[in-house]
Each structure stands twice: as structure tokens, then as C-alpha cells.
């Protein structure tokens, strides 16, 4: 329907900006949540079917008021959300040596940020007894992440938030799943030198052990996500889907 809309968090990220473009190009109404920059979205921001919310997911009050304001202005009815926003591991130390503040920032951003976003969106979905939600996790939820314990813990939490909300919201016709990729082929140019080194080392080993011998592409992620959000999916909820080229 013409007023329906999809929300994308982390919309200026690698995956988020790809998804934003895909949905914007097929003329869906798209609500993009960004935190700082929108440089990857420049070519779609002027489209009438694209609206931007600049808010930190840690700030529930701001997020809620900007979201409600936008719905008032547009009269859009959001019915889908893809939550890709994430805080990455950034000190690359074993758990015992990790700075507690870094643990706290990652847990805050990835778990409380997800909690805040869902607290804003679910009541809107409930009003119309319809909603489809995808949370982006990671395959580290089942294999762990040496030197990235907080990120690994937060991604397991996301899968369990999704299982729980699936049970809680089924009566409201709200479906929620977690999409958990392994390595994704992304643009790394904006990462720090140390983070690029960490990824290169980590992924070189990982890709060697992937039966399909490559990282996931954005298209791989889109295919599954698009199905999970579609009307064709009315029964799959609370699941975690691993996109890992055959690697268990």
C-alpha cells in the first residue's frame, strides 16, 4: 500500500546503505536512521519516498520524538524494519585485558540500542496488527570472536531478543528474525589501519574454511532478508539464519 514504509537503521553503513538503495529504487517509502554521516546515501536522499532520521539509538527520547514527528508529517505507516546498526569491536584484546569501558560501549550500543529501537517501533506495529522485523546478528553468536568478546556477546543477545520478541508479539501479528552473516565483502577504506589489519588476518583464515570459498555479498543478504520481510513469510519467526557459505 502507498503509505506503508520500511525503516532501516545503520542506514549509512555498508549493509544499511545497500538495503536503503534497493528499497528506495523500488519506490518503497523508506525511513533511514543514521547517527552521524549520510555520505553513502547522497544519491537517494532527495527522493520523495526517502526520509532521514538522525538519532543515536542510545537516546531513546530523541529517537522516539523524531520518529513520531516523521510519522505525523508523512502519514506513513511503517510495517517493516531492518536493524543493521552496530558498534564494532575496536580494541582487539582478549576478554581479560579488555578495557571495561569498551565492553560497556559495545553492550550499550548493540543491546540497549536494539532495545530502544524496538521499544519505539513495536507499539507502532501493534496499532496496525502487522510488522516484520529483521535484526542483524553475526555468526560469532555461535563461534565466538577471540579478541572481540563484547561484540560476540552482544550478537548472541540480539538473537535471543529476537526469539523472545517473536513469542511476545506473535499475537500482534509481528514477525521477527535474526540474520547472522559470516564475513561480508565490504568497503574497508574508512576503517582504521589497525582494524583493517585485524579483519585481514581474521578473514583470511575464515574464508579458507568456508566451503563456498568467498565472503557473503550484499545480494546474498538481501535475498534472504527480502523474503523474511515479505507477505510470503507468515510463519517463520524467532529464528536465526546464518549466511556463511556452508560453514557451520
Q: How far is the CB of 2 from ligand NAP (least distance, A)?
A: 28
Does 116 bind ligand NAP (CB under 6 A)? Our answer is no
Stretch that binds ligand NAP, among 35-43, 74-82, 160-168, 226-234 (CB under 6 A): 35-43
Residue 184 touches ligand NAP, criterion: CB under 6 A: yes
Written as nine digits, the cell of 243 is 549466511
User: Could you tell me the CA-to-CA distances from 38 to 14, 16, 52 in Å, in that order?
Assistant: 12, 11, 9
User: Does 86 help bind ligand NAP (rule: CB under 6 A)?
Assistant: yes
Cβ atoms of residues 160 and 116 within 8 Å = no
State in angstroms the smallest separation of the CB of 186 from ligand NAP: 5
Nearest to 43 by CA among 67, 14, 9, 20: 20
> How far lies 238's CA from each of 93, 159, 168, 187, in Å?
32, 8, 10, 30
Q: Is 35 in the site for ligand NAP (CB under 6 A)?
A: yes
C-beta nearest to ligand NAP: residue: 13
Task: With both helix axes pointing from N to C terminus, report the angle between 149-169 and 113-127 in degrees, rounded to the nearest 10.
Answer: 20
10 binds ligand NAP, rule: CB under 6 A: yes
Residue 115 or 130 having the CB closest to ligand NAP: 115
Contact predicate 66/55, CB 8 Å: yes
In the complex with ligand NAP, the residue whose CB is nearer, 166 or 216, is: 216
Q: Which residues bind ligand NAP (CB under 6 A)?
A: 10, 12-16, 35-37, 56-58, 84-88, 109, 113, 136, 138, 181, 183-184, 186
Amino acid at each position: 500500500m502507498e503509505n506503508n514504509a520500511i525503516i532501516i537503521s545503520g542506514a549509512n553503513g555498508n549493509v544499511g546503505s545497500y538495503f536503503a538503495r534497493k528499497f528506495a529504487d523500488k519506490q518503497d517509502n523508506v525511513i533511514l536512521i543514521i547517527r552521524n554521516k549520510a555520505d553513502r546515501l547522497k544519491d537517494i536522499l532527495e527522493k520523495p519516498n526517502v526520509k532521514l532520521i538522525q538519532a543515536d539509538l542510545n537516546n531513546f527520547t530523541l529517537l522516539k520524538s523524531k520518529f513520531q514527528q516523521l510519522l505525523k508529517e508523512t502519514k506513513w505507516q511503517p510495517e517493516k524494519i531492518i536493524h543493521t546498526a552496530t558498534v564494532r569491536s575496536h580494541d582487539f584484546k582478549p576478554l581479560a585485558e579488555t578495557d571495561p569501558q569498551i565492553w560497556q560501549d559495545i553492550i550499550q550500543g548493540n543491546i540497549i540500542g536494539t532495545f530502544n529501537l524496538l521499544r519505539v517501533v513495536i507499539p507502532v506495529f501493534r496499532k496496525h496488527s502487522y510488522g516484520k522485523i529483521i535484526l542483524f546478528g553475526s555468526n560469532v553468536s555461535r563461534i565466538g570472536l577471540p579478541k572481540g568478546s563484547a561484540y560476540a556477546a552482544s550478537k548472541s543477545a540480539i538473537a535471543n531478543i529476537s526469539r523472545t520478541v517473536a513469542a511476545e508479539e506473535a499475537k500482534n501479528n509481528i514477525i521477527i528474525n535474526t540474520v547472522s552473516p559470516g564475513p561480508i565483502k565490504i568497503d574497508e577504506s574508512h576503517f582504521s589501519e589497525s582494524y583493517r589489519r585485524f579483519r585481514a588476518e581474521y578473514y583470511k583464515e575464515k574464508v579458507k574454511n568456508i566451503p563456498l570459498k568467498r565472503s557473503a555479498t550484499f545480494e546474498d543478504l538481501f535475498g534472504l532478508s527480502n523474503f523474511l520481510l515479505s507477505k510470503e513469510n507468515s510463519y517463520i519467526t524467532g529464528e536465526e539464519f546464518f549466511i556463511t557459505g556452508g560453514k557451520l
